[in-house]
Chains A and B, each alone.
Chain A
Amino acid sequence: MTRGDAVAIALAAALIGALYAQHWQPAVDAGTVEIRRDGELAGRYPLSQARSLTVSGHLGDSTIEIRDGQVRFRQAPCRNQVCVHRGWLRHAGDAAACLPNRISLRLGGQGQGDVPDALSH
């Protein structure tokens, strides 16, 4: 290993540390799931209510199931079924995607968590 290698490793570590600081979320149970088609919001649903949804994407219909505070891809038209194999998602920040069908899920926090600065009523 050269000094250059060591510098490269240090820089890489620093960069990755910064990425964690920016994007990492602790594992808390999620309250809502956002479903996107091609990046556009197609729906936002609470995880408290059991539901089965069909979302149509580039290849066909994906079935998404919400149950017991969890959500998953139950069925998808893609070949490798990676999205289905991802299984149940439960924590805020968790995400799953079916790339060929361009459908993605993202779990969001419980309630708003941020208190508004003022209330209009």
Chain B
Amino acid sequence: MRSATEPMAATAEDRLVAGFAALAIVIHVLEAGFPSPIPGVKPGLANAITLIVLLRHGWRLALWVAALRIVAGSLLVGSFLAPGFWLSLTGAAASLAALGLCWQWNRLSARRLPSLQLSALGLSLCAALAHMAGQFALAYLVFVPHSGLLTLLPLLMTAALVFGLVTGAIADAILRRLARLSPPPQRPILDP
């Protein structure tokens, strides 16, 4: 709808994505400084942002934020296209897939078993576990097919459980604050 000669004005949506993505990128870069038993495998705290965007603004924006976070984050950290990049990508893909499944579950149980739906806490937990499992799977299958790696799996998944709950609680708190400040925007038509 914009003509080729007019300067492109950023829409409100663009600003939203940029803002959240910036936050996620900052978290991603800070996380890169964390030591980890398997280099490149991270707790995935930036997933909290993805979750918040998902619950407030729907899938499309959440995917954008996630993609931007991974690409720009890895460029900043210097791991673009390095093993760390693929690990982040796999982790994010796995956690988004898990979120999708949980979303479906929530939908399906909405009528018959509403109390069994997952709140931000449960969603974040599943996303974090999937994130870690996805990263581990990639590390184990592709980079280091060494059975010794398996002894780290229980530890990593425990960390994922803890981080998942923590980010879930944080995301939940943020969502409430945001809901008070400005009610959730009209759901985009492409909302699943």
Q: Is the CB of A100 within 8 A of B122?
A: no
Q: Is the CB of A95 within 8 A of B125?
A: no
* Residue of B36, B84, B109, B146 with most partner-chain A CB within 10 A: B146
Pick the residue among B35, B36, B119 that contacts A1 (CB under 8 A): B119
Interface segment out of the listed A3-11, A46-54, A64-72: A3-11
Q: Is the CB of A2 within 8 A of B158?
A: no
Q: Is the CB of B147 within 8 A of A79?
A: no
- Chain A contacts for B39, CB-based, 8 A: 80, 82-83, 97-99
* Cβ of A55 to closest chain B Cβ, rounded Å: 13
Q: Is the CB of A4 within 8 A of B151?
A: no
Quick one: given A13-B161, A100-B83, are A23 and B146 in contact (CB under 8 Å)?
no
Q: Does B7 contact A (CB under 8 A)?
A: no
**A97 to B151 CA separation, bound complex (whole angstroms):** 13
- Chain B contacts for A2, CB-based, 8 A: 115-119, 121-122
**Contacts of A52-98 to chain B: CB distance below 8 A:** 79-80, 82-83, 85-86, 93-95, 97-98
- Chain A contacts for B184, CB-based, 8 A: none
- Chain A contacts for B118, CB-based, 8 A: 2, 4-5, 8
- Chain B contacts for A93, CB-based, 8 A: 148, 151
**A104 to B152 CA separation, bound complex (whole angstroms):** 13
Pick the residue among A1, A39, A95 that contacts B152 (CB under 8 A): A95
Classify chain B: how many residues form its interface, as a range: 35 or more
Q: Is the CB of A4 within 8 A of B109?
A: yes
Q: Is the CB of B154 within 8 A of A20?
A: yes
**A16 to B125 CA separation, bound complex (whole angstroms):** 13
List the count of A-B residue pairs having beta carbons below 8 Å apart.
115
**A107 to B116 CA separation, bound complex (whole angstroms):** 44
Annotate A1-44 by CB proximity to B: 1 below 8 A, 0 otherwise: 11111011100110110011011110000000010101100000
Classify chain A: how many residues form its interface, as a range: 35 or more
- Chain B contacts for A104, CB-based, 8 A: 144, 146, 148-149
**Contacts of B23-51 to chain A: CB distance below 8 A:** 35-40
* Cβ of B151 to closest chain A Cβ, rounded Å: 5
Annotate B140-173 by CB proximity to A: 1 below 8 A, 0 otherwise: 0001111111111110011001001100000000
Quick one: given A39-B145, A82-B39, A97-B39, are A5 and B154 in contact (CB under 8 Å)?
no
Apart from A2-B122, A82-B40, A93-B151, list 18 A-B contacts with CB within 8 A. Answer: A2-B115, A4-B106, A4-B115, A5-B118, A9-B122, A9-B125, A9-B165, A12-B164, A19-B157, A23-B150, A38-B145, A39-B146, A82-B35, A82-B39, A85-B35, A93-B148, A97-B144, A107-B148
Name A's B-contacting residues (CB within 8 A): 1-5, 7-9, 12-13, 15-16, 19-20, 22-25, 34, 36, 38-39, 79-80, 82-83, 85-86, 93-95, 97-100, 102, 104-107
